[in-house]
Amino acid sequence: MTAKTELDRRSFLKATLVAGGSLVFGLHLPSKSRAEERFGIAEPAVAAFQPNAFIKIAPDGKVTVTVGQSEMGQGVLTSLPMIVAEDLDVDFANVMYEQAPADKAFANPMMGTMVTGGSSSVKMFFAPLRKASAAAREMLVAAAAQQWGVPAESCRVAKGEVFHPTSRRAAKYGTLLDAASKLTPPAEPKLKDAKDFKIIGKPMKRLDTPAKVNGTGIFAIDVKVPGMLTASILRCPYMGGKVGRVDEAEAKAVKGVRAVVTLGDGVGIVADNYWSAKKGRDALTVEWDKGPNPNLSSDGIYKMFADGANNDKGLVAKKTDDLAGAKSKAAKTVEAVYWSPFLAHATMEPMTFVADVRKDSAEVWGGVQAQMMVAQVVGKTAGVPADKVKVNTTLLGGGFGRRFEMDYVIDGTLLSKAVGKPVKVIWTREDDMQGDQYRPATYNKMSAGLDASGNPVFWHHRVVNDAIMARLGPGFGFELKPDQLDDSAFEGAHNLPYDLGQMQIDWVRKDTGVPVGFWRSVGSSHTAFSTECFVDELAHAAGKDPLAFRLATLAKHPRHAGALKLAAEKAGWGKPLPKGMGRGIAVHESFGSYVAQVAEVSVDNDGHVRVHRVVIACDCGQVVNPDTVAAQMEGGMVYGLTAALYGEITLKDNRVEQRNFYDYKMLRMNEMPKCEVHIVPSNEKHGGVGEPGTPPIAPAVVNAIFAATGKRIRSLPIRPEELKQA
């Protein structure tokens, strides 16, 4: 899809006959393909070689990789084609991508469906893509060997060409496609030896950058469909509330307004354009049913959580033999409560979705993270079979777990069905801020003990929050029971790597009535704050250096220790800083990657924190594109730093108080610290990189504040008034 190109209803799925007589489906759009855009030529009429769902080779040797993962800034439209190019052995300059349709062929192996999340794209598709690429390569080699009458094992490949060293014959891939398509793909192709990699592990420029820079990249808000109308929705501002009485008269009088549709928890205004829809929405008069919790507030939720921490019996996530005995023998006990607030996703592109619902089918466009679930939801909502729903995935203007949700998908589908035309629904920033599925607020009751020598003897951590999977579980085919643990609520707490003696981690579940969902790094986004800050408190109580204290308890976790040592070395840990500055450190594992961060901060006389420098060390196993790793570490750190300094969703009278970026602030460019990223060399299996850069930054900054001021921050966001006295 190119900018300003209107997609018509003749978009269709074309089937390509491939080896073995099977059919492989690829998305065809009546507009320029990415290959055309990049190489400036139309795809030739001669049939391309498509040995599997992922790879298509044109007669001119150009390779198109069909990517089933959504691109939300994490670089999958480059990293996954790099994997293909390596084992296929082609010049990366001849490789381009196309976005896959919703199809089980592109299901994420970790999820069992087509989902982008959990920092899993590279680690889950590395092996399948390598195997698919190696199989295609072996088929091309076999085709050449057959033509030349030589053993396949005597042939070599390089940069899209098969050659036979002895006879000095050579053939480009493009000349072998017809012969290769008649062969059966090998079941177990031989993969390239890692020592021979020329692309994997090397920094590569991202393939999607030019389109984003020159404006041809298509986000949901850019999509145009013939006959399309635009909608805005006035939403119920109360948690769990719904529409009461509606006076439509003034809204319908606005020029360009075509329909007013009641949706249950809101009223949609469908118009010729967004401005008319917005004016019609502003003219609506609606009386709201305030829902079951009209007095819900942040103060009430905090008290509910505190009461649960002190009086409820938690579900045990981890427990060793004799916690009570260790507590009785401790020479010194340290106790603290840590609080993390609700957080919004605050994606730069608000939720937007385009739906064209017809009598027996539907076509939709959007930045989504779960294409097959979208097809199911659209089908159910529109009353058509899911296999008759065509899902077009656009670029995502930020995801962070928010576009895994289906609320905006349902909006567009219902409105299109109601008016019988294609409809683009656009959320306002206020809709997005006040109608989110929030990162859960969390209350952490912590206690730990030391012996007379300052060695840890016990650790007890009680996590109190809501269960994300209670709401999202049915989408994965299960229902969370009241006595069942939700790992996403406390991950990062029960798998703490430190040897701290006797341990117990338990969880108290509290249903607040506030919808909660996946937020970048999920449970680790708050458990890293509570655990890494409390470890720092324990080190101080023991009279030991925070780095030395950590390393002394990490004998069984060398990857944590390795990341810590590298970050500390590069940051100059132990070297003096200018007066008034402090240095803090933290390490956390999430999604299979180990990330340590050192922050250098100062606090002015008014209590305002300035983060001057952040040093990041990341052990994410085998790296595909180091440039992407560095970018994701930087981006994850900024996302977490923004939340630590400013992020907070509060409620009063059952309403979210924040509305826009003036009261839910983002980190500004002039506040950006100097950032260094160092990758730990590793041959371990892949870890994710999209999320693990977020958890360590809040504790690193808070620990640095203590080093600079002697003041412990145990509640986020960091408040200047709390530090002014320090």
- In this structure, the answer to whether residues 510 and 548 fall within a common structural domain is yes
pLDDT digits (tens, 9 = 90+) for 12-68: 223 333 333 322 323 233 334 443 444 343 444 447 899 999 999 999 999 999 999
Q: Where are the beta strands (DSSP E) in 196-322?
A: 229-235, 242-247, 257-262, 266-271, 285-289, 315-319
Would you call 597 helix, strand, or coil by DSSP? strand
Convert 682-696 to b/e letters by CB count within 10 Å (16 or more is b).
beeebbbbbbbbbbb
- In this structure, the answer to whether residues 241 and 362 fall within a common structural domain is yes
* CATH for 44: 3.30.365.10
pLDDT digits (tens, 9 = 90+) for 144-171: 999 999 999 999 999 999 999 999 999 9
- In this structure, the answer to whether residues 150 and 246 fall within a common structural domain is no
Q: From CA 83, how far away is CA 74, in angstroms rounded?
A: 15
pLDDT at 475: 79
Q: From CA 623, how far away is CA 680, in angstroms rounded?
A: 10
Q: Is 7 inside any structural domain?
A: no
Q: Is 433 inside any structural domain?
A: no
Q: What's the mean pLDDT when you consider all of the chain?
A: 93
Query: With 60 as the cut, is the pLDDT of residue 8 above it?
Result: no
- In this structure, the answer to whether residues 401 and 452 fall within a common structural domain is no
Say which residue the tokens 């049939």 belong to.
Answer: 47
pLDDT at 48: 86
Q: Is 77 inside any structural domain?
A: yes
Q: Is 431 inside any structural domain?
A: no
Q: Is there a contact between 87 and 141 (Cβ–Cβ < 8 Å)?
A: no
Count Cα atoms within 13 angstroms, Cβ side, for 198: 11
pLDDT digits (tens, 9 = 90+) for 176-186: 999 999 999 99
- 450 strand-pairing partners: 332, 456
* Ramachandran area for residue 13 (φ above 0: left; ψ -120 to 50: alpha; else beta): beta
Q: From CA 231, how far away is CA 483, in angstroms rounded?
A: 42
* Confidence class for position 477, pLDDT limits 50, 70, 90: confident
- The angle formed by the CA atoms of residues 269, 270 and 273, to the nearest 5 degrees, is 115
pLDDT digits (tens, 9 = 90+) for 504-561: 999 999 999 999 999 999 999 999 999 999 999 999 999 999 999 999 999 999 999 9
One-letter amino acid for residue 113 of the chain: T
One-letter amino acid for residue 694 of the chain: T
- In this structure, the answer to whether residues 468 and 612 fall within a common structural domain is yes
Q: Is 5 inside any structural domain?
A: no
Query: With 70 as the cut, is the pLDDT of residue 11 above it?
Result: no
Which of 399, 426, 453 is the last residue in one of the domains?
426
Task: Tell me what percent of the residues of the chain surpass a pLDDT of 70.
Answer: 94
DSSP string, 303-346: HHHHHHHHHSPPEEEEE-S-HHHHHHH-SEEEEEEEEE-BB---
Query: With 80 as the cut, is the pLDDT of residue 10 above it?
Result: no
For residue 717, whether the previous peptide bond is cis, meaning omega lies within 30 degrees of 0, is yes
* Confidence class for position 726, pLDDT limits 50, 70, 90: low
Q: Is there a contact between 517 and 468 (Cβ–Cβ < 8 Å)?
A: yes
Question: What Cα–Cα distance (Å) separates residue 372 from each residue in 22, 31, 69?
Answer: 22, 24, 12
- In this structure, the answer to whether residues 171 and 242 fall within a common structural domain is no
- Residue 42: which H helix or E strand, with range? none
Q: Is 255 inside any structural domain?
A: yes
Helix axis angle, 407-419 to 371-382, nearest 10° = 40
Q: Is 6 inside any structural domain?
A: no
pTM for this entry: 0.92
Say which residue the tokens 């896959």 belong to.
Answer: 100
Which of 167, 190, 211 is the last residue in one of the domains?
211
Q: What is the dihedral of CA 48, 51, 53, 56, to 10 degrees?
A: -30
Can you tell me the mean pLDDT for 658-669?
A: 97
Can you tell me the mean pLDDT for 634-647?
A: 98
Structure token pair of residue 721:
């008034």
Query: With 80 as the cut, is the pLDDT of residue 102 above it?
Result: yes
Closest CA to 529 of 468, 444, 455: 444
Query: With 80 as the cut, is the pLDDT of residue 705 above it?
Result: yes
Q: Is there a contact between 489 and 465 (Cβ–Cβ < 8 Å)?
A: yes
Q: Is 3 inside any structural domain?
A: no
- 438 strand-pairing partners: 516
Task: Tell me what percent of the residues of the chain surpass a pLDDT of 90.
Answer: 92
- Residue 178: which H helix or E strand, with range? helix 177-181
- In this structure, the answer to whether residues 357 and 338 fall within a common structural domain is no
Question: What Cα–Cα distance (Å) separates residue 593 from each residue in 124, 349, 590, 621?
Answer: 14, 28, 6, 7
Closest CA to 713 of 534, 492, 463, 491: 534
How many domains would you assign to the chain? 3
- In this structure, the answer to whether residues 650 and 511 fall within a common structural domain is yes
Q: From CA 437, how far away is CA 467, in angstroms rounded?
A: 12
pLDDT at 47: 72
pLDDT digits (tens, 9 = 90+) for 577-597: 999 999 999 999 999 999 999
- Residue 393: which H helix or E strand, with range? strand 389-393
- In this structure, the answer to whether residues 610 and 715 fall within a common structural domain is yes
- In this structure, the answer to whether residues 444 and 306 fall within a common structural domain is yes
Q: Which domain holds residue 168?
A: 12-211
Q: From CA 593, how far away is CA 630, in angstroms rounded?
A: 13
Q: From CA 422, how far away is CA 393, in angstroms rounded?
A: 16
Which of 154, 189, 211 is the last residue in one of the domains?
211
Q: Is there a contact between 390 and 413 (Cβ–Cβ < 8 Å)?
A: no
115 Cβ contact partners less than 8 Å away, ≥ 6 residues apart: 107, 108, 369, 370, 372, 373, 404
Q: Is there a contact between 239 and 651 (Cβ–Cβ < 8 Å)?
A: yes
- In this structure, the answer to whether residues 309 and 445 fall within a common structural domain is yes
pLDDT at 446: 98
What residue spans of 501-608 are helical by DSSP H?
524-541, 546-552, 558-571
pLDDT digits (tens, 9 = 90+) for 239-252: 999 999 999 999 99
- In this structure, the answer to whether residues 256 and 207 fall within a common structural domain is no
